[in-house]
Amino acid sequence: MIKVLSFLCSVFIGVAAFAQRPIFDAEAMWQLKRLGSEIVSPDGSKIIFRTAYYNFEKGVENPKSKAEFHLMTFGKKNETIGLPNAENIVGNIKWLNNEEIIFFAQEKGKLHIMRQGVDGTNRRSLTPEGCDEFEEFIVSPQGNYIVALKSIKVQPTVQDIHKDLTKANAYVYDDLMYRHWDSWNDGKAKQLFLYEVDNGTIGGSGINLLEGTPYHGVIPPYGGLEGVTFALDESKVLYVSKKLVGKEFAVSTNSDVYEYAIKTGHTVNLTPANKGYDTHPAYSPDGSQLAWLSMAKDGFEADKNDILLLVDGATTNLTKEVDMTVSSFHWAEDGKSIFFIAMHQATAQFFELDLKSKEVRQITKGIFNYTSLHPRGKYIYATRQSMLHPNELYQVAIKTGEAEELTDVNGEFLDDYGRPLIEQRWTTTTDNKKMLTWVVLPPDFDETKKYPTLLYCQGGPQSAVSQFFSFRWNFRVMASQGYVIIAPNRRGLPGFGQEWNDAISKDWGGQAMEDYLSAVDAVKTEKYVDEKRIGAVGASYGGYSVYYLAGIHEGRFKSFISHCGLFNLTSWYGSTEELFFANWDIGGPYWLPENKEGYVKNSPHTNVAKWDTPMFVIHGGKDFRVPYTQGLEAYQAAQLKGIKSRLLYFPEEGHWVINLHNSLLWHREFYGWLKETL
């Protein structure tokens, strides 16, 4: 299916109201197909993509996720079929050439690396020793090598040291970073193994590019092979690593791009002068230039992300004068320009950087986010989403920005439900600046009615309130329950210049809180907002915001919901793991005299005496970024003050609620609480 889409001429998105439609709720959201993992053939004639979904059949106690792989061939009809011979493909599909693919497959209970024609023919195994331990792999340009990612033991465990205590269940640590996000340090590191492909077979046990070191060959804990690439002549492998351990790892973001020479085994650091994150290296099409993403400041994970270029030993910052932060990029096929995605006024758009003139051209405009980037010929192939619709595939003309929708995997399903309206408005802050605020209105909106309203507080804190479609904090679900949503792009969010982004650091309880209140005060003047039924909700820094607003809101809100929020910054500093984040954004240790005033000003627990409004606290037991004790402290304070309060605790969830049944429970309790209190 193809649809030609024009740019939006209005700040409203919506369709005519239909009576008696079902309500779009969490159960409906979980039935949506999730499209992604798209890969375009080298010649741009075909694309393979994946859809995953849950089958909610009656009587099935716990529906399982199902995945399907699809092959689209571009032409007059853009024919799409199921990828042939894909029944046991697990994923990690790569193009070897225009007619062959390589992938993970599950056969006879084991994981294999397989190769076959894109038409499903001539299938054979390339499986090397230890393939079951692989997490991911990439293939070299000519197909003569692969690099695989797997976790190996780099430090002894309790059982290694105390061999007779086979049933001991404990960890022993002598340094920091003993846990990360949702996992305890088990003595393993994700390292990279290089294999040679000989006559179509991957042989041997591979060469460990980080042999004898305790370092990761990727950025842990969730980083993959997006930071690994081959030279076009296959003489070198580049990879990204933060070669630090212990306390140094915990307080620094200094990753670097390393070059491993395949013939000699020699490794060189290509970015020793850069002190922040260096990631995503990519050679130009002719192999003569190397580009990568770089942040200048060590310890600042939300610093401006620039494109750096290395040519003949000299490095140039290509986007130094561009007041945007780059999230991803891709070389143009002629090597004369670079395409990139950046946040611009709360939407993720395509841009083109001309290498000769250094000028930047915005390719796309509209109320949506592009979430991937695959340029081929005259087009960019990409996934796109909005607050109301999850990812679909698009073809974007590079010259004009005109977009054609290539898939519509959820359109028929979503047509059964009412569609909320999205309004983009600019509100004035207390320091007389303009702030973009999204206002999401319920389906079948009637401006003569009064609606309960929710202030959405974003996490991060430097994470844009853009046109994202979240399967956790979903604006379509919220609005479909009959709520107006106010979602401000308050101080600290990218897409409005680096000054706006940086303003929140060391001022968490300052101007950002004023921005929230400014947005609420502006929107609540609308006759459709019920001033007596306004709540505030959010997670992470958004959860912090809820706790903070509870002490300063002066009667604006009738209900609060905080998910994994920071409550007591002193105890949080003593239990979180990535201390570079706390050091940069909070100012460092609470015991330093120069930080005393900041902890008092910015910690929500110092304003608990002013709490007087119902508070719902949600937290995960495996959340090590914001440990669950933060939620317990807040809940206990509310209880002891006699405030209506509730605690929802998920022992096996981390910073996010991912399990299907836990998610459904989260939504039921979330909206149940709002029904009680708003």
DSSP code per residue over 219-260: -TTT--GGG-EE-TTSSEEEEEE----HHHHHH----EEEEE
pLDDT of residue 200: 74
Calculate mean pLDDT across residues 195-204.
84
Reported as a pLDDT band with limits 50, 70 and 90, residue 10 is very low
* H or E element in which residue 596 lies: helix 596-602
pLDDT digits over 491-521, tens only? Answer: 999 999 999 999 999 999 999 999 999 999 9
Calculate mean pLDDT across residues 330-344.
97
Q: Is the pLDDT of residue 329 over 60?
A: yes
For 488, what's the count of Cα atoms within 13 Å in the CB-facing half-sphere?
A: 29
In DSSP terms, 438 is beta-bridged to 424, 487
Q: Which two tokens stand for residue 220?
A: 């842990």
Q: Which domains does the chain possess?
A: 419-677 (3.40.50.1820)
Residue type, 50: R
In DSSP terms, 89 is beta-bridged to 105
Q: Is the pLDDT of residue 32 over 70?
A: yes
DSSP state of 587: -
- DSSP track, 417-480: S---EEEEEEEE-TTS-EEEEEEEE-TT--TTS-EEEEEEE--TTT----S---SSS-HHHHHH
pLDDT digits over 411-461, tens only? Answer: 999 999 999 999 999 999 999 999 999 999 999 999 999 999 999 999 999
Q: Which two tokens stand for residue 673?
A: 């609480």
Q: Which residues contact 489 (CB under 8 A, 6 or more apart)?
A: 346, 435, 436, 437, 438, 458, 464, 465, 495, 496
Range of weakest confidence among 110-119, 362-371, 637-646: 110-119
Reported as a pLDDT band with limits 50, 70 and 90, residue 62 is low
Calculate mean pLDDT across residues 400-405.
98
What is d(CA 229, CA 236) in angstroms, rounded to the nearest whole number?
Answer: 9
Handedness of CA 586, 591, 594, 596 (dihedral sign): positive
Reported as a pLDDT band with limits 50, 70 and 90, residue 298 is very high
Residue 540 among the catalytic residues: yes
Q: Is the pLDDT of residue 17 over 50?
A: no
Q: Which residues contact 199 (CB under 8 A, 6 or more apart)?
A: none
Residue 216 among the catalytic residues: no
Reported as a pLDDT band with limits 50, 70 and 90, residue 20 is low
Handedness of CA 199, 200, 203, 208 (dihedral sign): positive
Residue 623 among the catalytic residues: yes
Calculate mean pLDDT across residues 45-50.
97
Q: Which of 294, 327, 337, 540 is catalytic?
A: 540
Q: Which residues contact 221 (CB under 8 A, 6 or more apart)?
A: 180, 181, 182, 183
pLDDT digits over 360-376, tens only? Answer: 999 999 999 999 999 99
pTM of the model as a whole:
0.94
pLDDT of residue 64: 73
pLDDT of residue 49: 98
Q: Is the pLDDT of residue 300 over 90?
A: yes
With residues binned 3-state (H G I as helix, E B as strand, rest as coil), the percentages for the chain, rounded to 5, are: 15, 35, 50
What is d(CA 616, CA 146) in angstroms, rounded to the nearest whole number?
Answer: 50
Q: Is the pLDDT of residue 56 over 90?
A: no
Q: Which residues contact 560 (CB under 8 A, 6 or more apart)?
A: 535, 536, 537, 546, 547, 549, 550, 613, 614, 615, 616
Reported as a pLDDT band with limits 50, 70 and 90, residue 55 is confident
Three-state SS at 289: coil
Reported as a pLDDT band with limits 50, 70 and 90, residue 77 is confident
Q: Is the pLDDT of residue 7 over 70?
A: no
Q: Which of 25, 303, 507, 623 is catalytic?
A: 623
Q: What is the largest CA-CA distance in the chain?
A: 75
What is d(CA 25, CA 102) in angstroms, rounded to the nearest whole number?
Answer: 39
Calculate mean pLDDT across residues 175-183.
96
Q: Which residues contact 75 (CB under 8 A, 6 or more apart)?
A: none
Q: What is the mean pLDDT of the chain?
A: 94
Structure-token match 């706006």, residue found: 500
Per cent of the chain over pLDDT 70 is 96
pLDDT digits over 229-268, tens only? Answer: 999 999 999 999 999 999 999 999 999 999 999 999 999 9
Structure-token match 């309880």, residue found: 509
Q: Which of 563, 655, 663, 667 is catalytic?
A: 655
In DSSP terms, 194 is beta-bridged to 147, 207
Query: CA of 113: how far to CAs of 94, 108, 118, 571, 632, in Å?
Result: 11, 13, 15, 47, 46
Please, is 544 exposed, middle or buried when counting C-beta atoms within 10 Å of its C-beta (0-12, 13-18, 19+)? Answer: buried
pLDDT of residue 198: 85
Reported as a pLDDT band with limits 50, 70 and 90, residue 59 is low
Q: Which residues contact 63 (CB under 8 A, 6 or more apart)?
A: 54, 55, 56, 57, 660
pLDDT of residue 16: 42
Range of weakest confidence among 45-54, 129-138, 336-345, 408-417: 129-138
Q: Is the pLDDT of residue 8 over 50?
A: no
What is d(CA 286, CA 619) in angstroms, rounded to the nearest whole number?
Answer: 50
Nearest partner of 105 among 88, 86, 120, judged by Cα: 88
Q: Is the pLDDT of residue 216 over 60?
A: yes
DSSP state of 526: S
Of the two residues 203 and 453, the one the predictor is more confident about is: 453
pLDDT digits over 553-567, tens only? Answer: 999 999 999 999 999
pLDDT of residue 169: 95
